[in-house]
Each structure stands twice: as C-alpha cells, then as structure tokens.
Amino acid sequence: MKRRSVMRRLLFLVGLLGCHGKSTDAPPPLPLVQVHDASGAILAELRPIRPCRGSIGPVELIVGGPPLVAQNGTTRWAGSSPGAGSATTITRDDEKIARIANQQAGAAVIDLQGVPVTRIAVAGQQATVLDAANTPLRTLTAKASQIDIDQPAGTVTGTNDLVIAALLSAPEVVPELRILAACERVLAPPLQAGRP
C-alpha cells in the first residue's frame, strides 16, 4: 500500500515537472504581402495589420488610422476625408499632394487637378490598371496562390485583394502614395460599392 502511494506521488511530480518545462507555441507569423519581379526579387512589401506597415525600395512607412497618419524621417504624411463617399486627401507636411479613392471594386490615385495618375478596375478575377486617358497599363490576374502581373511581369503573394496588389505594383505612383493607398484599404476597407 505504501509503495502505491509513493508511486502515485512520483508520477504526480513527474507530470508537474513535465508540464512546467513545456514552452508555449510561437505566435503565428504576421501576414505579409509581397510584390516580386519576373526574377523573384522583392519590389514591395506590406504587412496588412494595425498599424499597417509597408516598404517599397528605400521607403518604409508605418501607417496608423483612420485618419491616415505616417512619418518618414521628418516628413509627416496624413490623409483626411471630408465625409462618407469622399476621396481621402493626402498631405505631405500639410501640403496637399493627391487624393485616394478606394472603392469596393477598384481604386484611383488622383492628382490635385483631378486627373487620375492611375485607376484600378476589378472584374471577377482580373484587375485592369488604367492611366488618365483610360489606356490599359497592365492586367493582374488572381490565381490559386498568387496574383500574376502582365506588365512589367511579376507576381504578388500573400493576398487575394487585386486592388492592394495593383496599388503596390504601380510604378507610375510614388512609393509613399502606393503604401498609403494600400494601407487605407487595410485600415478602413470600403464597405459600400458606391464609395468613389
């Protein structure tokens, strides 16, 4: 009888020590959207979290909001929208730079004269990127595990959002605006299809 009692105590202690030595599982990795060129080199990255983080070349921004706010060295970037259904006005050190219009099925980056620098229209599994004259610049096609870009050839991994992929891969738009537009979509997704 005494032997059983001793054995139970030993098993109990071994069980306690075994549980005490276990480490918790590592947290899952943060989501990461990457734009790759045809050779596989990374051109842009976005962490679609709060705050949103993006990098394109040497430009890195941590974007909070809404309203959008980011700091790059001594330069302050901000975005403000006068109301629902309005485009977000982007400022650099309080100087208006452009407007971003995020929609459910597309987006546009518009200069201060109202001319679209780039427009993105989504239909099904494809997004078409257009210039100010409505000339197609490139097409993005959603596949099972990536989004393919035809011109310049490349891929986007880590997202199935064609608009985010098109924004991040738009060389005609300055990197800061590309990151801010993609982060706006992450931080304040367009809920209404009618939003410009």
pLDDT tens-place string over residues 113-134: 999 999 999 999 999 999 999 9
User: Is 79 domain-assigned?
Assistant: yes
Distance CA 196, CA 181 (A): 13
Number of Cα atoms under 13 Å in the Cβ half of residue 64: 5
Answer yes or no: is 90 within a domain. yes
68 occurs within a structural domain: yes
Look up the domain containing 62 and give its range: 27-187
In a domain, 147, yes or no: yes
Asked whether 159 and 44 are in contact (CB, 8 A), the reply is: no
Q: Is residue 11 in some structural domain?
A: no
The answer to whether residue 194 scores a pLDDT higher than 50 is: no
Alpha-carbon distance 69 to 36, whole Å?
A: 27
Which of 77, 83, 81 has its CA nearest to residue 97?
77
How would residue 195 be classed by pLDDT, with cut points 50, 70 and 90?
Answer: very low
The yes-or-no verdict on residue 72 having pLDDT over 50 is yes
Q: Output the average pLDDT for the chain.
A: 87
SS3 category, 104 = coil
User: Is 176 part of any domain?
Assistant: yes
Residue 172 confidence (pLDDT): 95
Q: What is the mean pLDDT of residues 127-147?
A: 96
Query: Can you give the pLDDT at residue 97?
Result: 95
Distances (CA, A) of 136 to 129, 139, 151, 164: 6, 8, 10, 18
Q: Is residue 22 assigned to a domain?
A: no
Number of domains forming the structure of the chain: 1
Of 34-38, 86-90, 122-126, minimum mean pLDDT range: 86-90
Residue 8, sorted as left (phi over 0), alpha (psi -120 to 50) or beta, turns out to be alpha
Residues 74 and 177: their CA atoms lie apart, in Å, by: 17
Is the pLDDT reported for residue 82 higher than 90?
Answer: no
pLDDT of residue 3: 57
The answer as to whether 86 is a domain residue is yes
pLDDT for res 53: 97
Question: What's the pLDDT score for residue 25?
Answer: 74
d(CA 187, CA 196): 17
User: What are φ and ψ of residue 42, in 5° steps?
Assistant: -80, 125
Rounded (5°) CA angle 176-156-104: 70
pLDDT of 105 strictly over 50? yes
Q: Residue 17 pLDDT > 70, yes or no?
A: no
Reply yes or no on whether the pLDDT at 41 is more than 90: yes
